[in-house]
């Protein structure tokens, strides 16, 4: 049974473990360096606080996915940027759907009108996930240089609340 809730400090190491496995595998995130639980804790403390974080936990309270929205300087104030991470091998089990239900509600409460997804063009699973949630293509970024100097294209998708 998957439960979605706000993260607590004890979740941070589990969240970092999950994200670092995805970063290590490569090909699906623009993040290029490993993160720590402290890094994630600092990201959550973004001010002004128009961000929302959710974790999906299993019956043992182990984090199996997480998602957040936050303002992005390249977006208008009525838009939030979204990031989603589900444990390797656990996709397709409803974790992302449960997270997005909570995120949509939080986005509306924070006054957002739409959510932006900025997805690597070679991340087939991510493109399918956001499309299946109702996100629509609205743009692209060609030749995006990641922190590790890798060049990728990105697809921009929008979800109107």
Q: What is the CATH number of the domain that holds 76?
A: 3.40.630.30
User: How does pLDDT run across 72-112, given as a tens digit for each residue?
Assistant: 999 999 999 999 999 887 776 789 999 999 999 999 999 99
Q: Residue 54 above 90 pLDDT?
A: yes
Q: Residue 124 above 90 pLDDT?
A: no
Residue 89 pLDDT: 76
- Report how far residue 72's alpha carbon sits from residue 62's, in angstroms, rounded to the nearest whole number: 29
Tell me whether strands 52-57 and 136-145 are parallel, antiparallel or unpaired.
unpaired
Q: Domain residues for 47?
A: 3-160
Q: Region 44-51: what's the mean pLDDT?
A: 72
Confidence tier at 27 by pLDDT (50, 70, 90): low
Number of domains in the chain: 1
**Percentage of residues in the chain having pLDDT higher than 70:** 93
SS3 labels along the chain? CCEEECCCHHHHHHHHHHHHHHHHHCCCCCCCCCCCHHHHHHHHCCCCCCCEEEEEECCCCCEEEEEEEECCCCCCCCEEEEEEEECCCCCCCCHHHHHHHHHHHHHHHCCCCEEEEEEECCCHHHHHHHHHHCCEEEEEEEEEECCCCCEEEEEEEEEEC
Whole-number average pLDDT of the chain? 89
- Report how far residue 62's alpha carbon sits from residue 90's, in angstroms, rounded to the nearest whole number: 13
CA dihedral 20, 9, 81, 64 (to 10 degrees): 50
């Amino acid at each position: 049974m998957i439960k979605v809730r706000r993260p607590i400090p004890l979740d941070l190491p589990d969240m970092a473990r999950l994200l670092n496995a995805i970063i290590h595998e490569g090909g699906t995130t623009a993040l290029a360096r490993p993160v720590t639980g402290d890094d994630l804790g600092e990201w959550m403390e973004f001010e002004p606080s128009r961000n929302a974080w959710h974790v999906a936990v299993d019956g043992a309270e182990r984090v199996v996915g997480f998602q957040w929205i936050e303002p992005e300087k390249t977006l208008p104030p009525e838009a939030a940027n979204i990031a989603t991470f589900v444990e390797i091998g656990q996709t397709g089990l409803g974790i992302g759907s449960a997270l997005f239900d909570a995120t949509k509600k939080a986005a509306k409460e924070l006054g957002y009108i739409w959510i932006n997804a900025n997805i690597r063009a070679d991340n087939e699973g991510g493109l399918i996930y956001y499309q299946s949630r109702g996100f629509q293509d609205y743009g692209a970024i060609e030749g995006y240089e990641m922190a590790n100097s890798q060049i990728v294209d990105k697809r921009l998708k929008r979800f109107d609340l």
